[in-house]
Amino acid sequence: MTAMPLRLVLADDHALFRQGLKTMLRRRPEVAVVADVERLADVDRVVDQTPCDVLLLDLQMERNALADIERLAKTVRVVVVTASEHPSNALAALQAGASAVVFKRFAIETLIDALRAVRDGYVWLPPSIQSEVRTKVFTKTGDALSRREREIVRLVALGLRNHEIAERLAIGEATVKTHLNKVFQKLAIRDRVDVARYAIRVGLIGVDESLT
């Protein structure tokens, strides 16, 4: 069965970039561009009125969009596109609630990879800055996890799958997935192996306990 296309709203104030990207994305069957906007002032209205899965947002429109990300990420997954490749900008976007950061110089295939990751509930970062941003996030957010999130991190690191964690903690599997997605976003990681590494790093488990 063919998966439904990811419904995307494109927000960028550079008409040439926006129109060119829209044309390329509309050639891809896995993506449906349902709307595009050129002003930040219009983004909330369009996202509210247009059923969509992801907002592809230029970080530097007529102003820096960090405050907008924090608000918009409560209702839609936000993928940031930016010409700036400084890790601090990516970190700020993630902390504001973005699910991915993509550099404007990247090929369309890389953007599609990022969109797929976000669709599947992961955080995506350019490989060139993953290590630096991850280190900063580990340092700044190690104490940001809730008690329940730390419990789930420990059990993931011990090799338990989501349904096993749900049984162990007497909660729903959907609740486990929600907590785990928050962990991925807070720590800027995208898979269970990174969860295990984090758990070892901060002492939630010992090196010899991990089954992953």
- What confidence score (pLDDT) does residue 65 get? 85
> How many whole angstroms separate alpha carbon 151 and alpha carbon 79?
28
20 and 57 in a single domain? The answer is yes
Same domain, 86 and 163: no
Examine residue 75 and state whether it is found in any structural domain, yes or no.
Answer: yes
Lowest mean pLDDT among 6-10, 54-58, 128-132, 167-171: 128-132
Q: What is the reported pLDDT for 135? A: 64
Tell me, what CATH number does 179's domain have? 1.10.10.10
- Identify the pLDDT of residue 210: 47
| pLDDT exceeds cutoff 80 at 117 | yes
Q: What is the pLDDT at residue 212? A: 43
What's the mean per-residue pLDDT of the chain?
85
* pLDDT > 70: percent of the chain: 88
Q: Which residues contact 40 (CB under 8 A, 6 or more apart)?
A: 11, 13, 61, 62, 63, 65, 68
Closest CA to 205 of 148, 153, 162, 131: 153
Do 17 and 77 fall into the same domain? yes
In a domain, 136, yes or no: no
Domain containing residue 31: CATH number: 3.40.50.2300
pLDDT at 33: 95
| CA 105 – CA 44 distance, rounded (Å) | 27
If asked whether residues 113 and 34 sit together in one domain, one would say: yes
- Asked if 95 contacts 72 with a C-beta cutoff of 8 angstroms, the reply is no
Whole-angstrom Cα distance, residue 103 to residue 155? Answer: 34
Domain end marker among 84, 104, 128: 128
pLDDT value of residue 119:
84
Q: How far is the first Cα of the chain from the last one, in angstroms, to the nearest whole number?
A: 31
Per the CB < 8 A criterion, the answer to whether 160 and 208 are in contact is no
Residue 120 domain-assigned? yes
Let me know whether 43 and 108 are in one domain.
yes
Q: How far apart are CA 75 and CA 72, in angstroms?
A: 6
Q: Are 157 and 111 within one domain?
A: no
Neighbours of 23 (CB within 10 A): 10
* Mean pLDDT of the 114-125 span: 84
Residue 180 forms part of a structural domain: yes
Residue 96 CA to residue 90 CA, distance in Å, equals 10
- Cβ 44 vs Cβ 73: under 8 Å: no
Both 67 and 100 in a single domain? Answer: yes
Residue 189 or residue 19, greater confidence? 19
Residue ranges making up the domain that contains 31: 6-128
Is residue 1 predicted with pLDDT exceeding 70?
no
What percent of the chain lies above the pLDDT cut of 90?
47
CA–CA distance, 138 with 94 (Å, rounded to integer): 13
Query: Do both 21 and 124 map to the same domain?
Result: yes
90 contacts: CB under 8 Å, gap ≥ 6: 80, 82, 101, 125, 126, 129, 133
Copy the structure tokens of residue 34.
């349902």
Cα-Cα-Cα-Cα dihedral of 129, 132, 133, 137, to 10°? Answer: 160
Condensed to tens digits (0 to 9), the pLDDT of residues 60-102 reads 887 888 888 888 988 899 999 999 888 888 888 887 888 889 9
Please give the tally of structural domains in the chain: 2
Kindly state whether residue 137 falls inside one of the protein's structural domains.
Answer: no
pLDDT of residue 201 exceeding 80 = no
Residue 102 lies in a domain: yes
Q: Which pair of structure tokens corresponds to residue 73? A: 């990420």
